[in-house]
């Protein structure tokens, strides 16, 4: 194995800085909603994996290059987004749903039936 030989894609990946995406967590009685901001990331460049109750997301953005134009302001770097979350026991890992829209990756983590709040009927005495 030649360690010096790297494909172009690998070399490009190595120059990217790893950053944590802006994330927010919401909760309701049915589920947790984890929202990650991934601007400039296409669906095919998102990698979502669950392993031993750890949910990890890696993604790469694409920064457009406009030929025939001169760059005047460059604030958006090419980055690798990386985030990992330890799923609590009350999350039903088998039924996690992921949605990609508007530059957001929205993960719905349903709560397990037994932890959802339930009303207890009071028997008349």
Partner 1 sequence: MRTYLTTLDNPWRVFDELMTDFPFDFLNNAWRARTGQYPRVNAWENETGLVVEAEVAGVDPDKLDVSVDANVLTLKGEKPLSGGAKSEFQRTFSLPFELDSENIKATAKNGILTLSIPRRAGSEKRRIAIEKQ
Given the rule CB under 8 A, which residues bind partner 1? 22, 24-26, 35, 37-42, 63-64, 66, 68-76, 102-104
Which secondary structure element, helix H or strand E, spans residue 10, and what is its range? helix 8-14
Provide, rounded to whole angstroms, the least separation between the CB of residue 51 and partner 1: 26
Compute the distance between CA of residue 28 and CA of residue 116 in angstroms, rounded to an integer: 10
Which of 115, 105, 90 minimizes the C-alpha distance to 34?
A: 105
Residue among 26 and 30 whose Cβ is closer to partner 1: 26
Provide, rounded to whole angstroms, the least separation between the CB of residue 37 and partner 1: 4
Residue among 24 and 97 whose Cβ is closer to partner 1: 24
Tokens of 79: 């980055």
Provide, rounded to whole angstroms, the least separation between the CB of residue 16 and partner 1: 16
Residue 109 burial (C-beta neighbours within 10 Å; 0-12, 13-18, 19+): buried
Tell me, what DSSP letter sits at residue 91? B
Residue among 53 and 63 whose Cβ is closer to partner 1: 63
Provide, rounded to whole angstroms, the least separation between the CB of residue 120 and partner 1: 28
Residue among 5 and 66 whose Cβ is closer to partner 1: 66
Contact between 109 and 31 under an 8 Å Cβ cutoff? The reply is yes
């Amino acid at each position: 194995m030649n360690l010096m030989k790297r494909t172009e894609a690998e070399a490009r990946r190595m120059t990217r800085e790893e950053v944590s995406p802006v994330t927010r967590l919401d909760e309701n009685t049915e589920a947790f909603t984890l929202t990650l901001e991934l601007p400039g990331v296409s669906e095919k460049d998102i990698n979502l994996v669950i392993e031993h109750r750890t949910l990890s997301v890696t993604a790469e953005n694409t920064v457009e290059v406009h030929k025939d134009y001169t760059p005047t302001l460059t604030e958006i770097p090419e980055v690798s987004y990386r985030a990992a979350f330890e799923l609590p026991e009350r999350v039903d890992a088998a039924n996690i749903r992921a949605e990609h829209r508007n530059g957001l990756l929205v993960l719905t983590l349903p709560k397990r039936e037994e932890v959802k709040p339930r009303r207890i009927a009071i028997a008349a005495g």
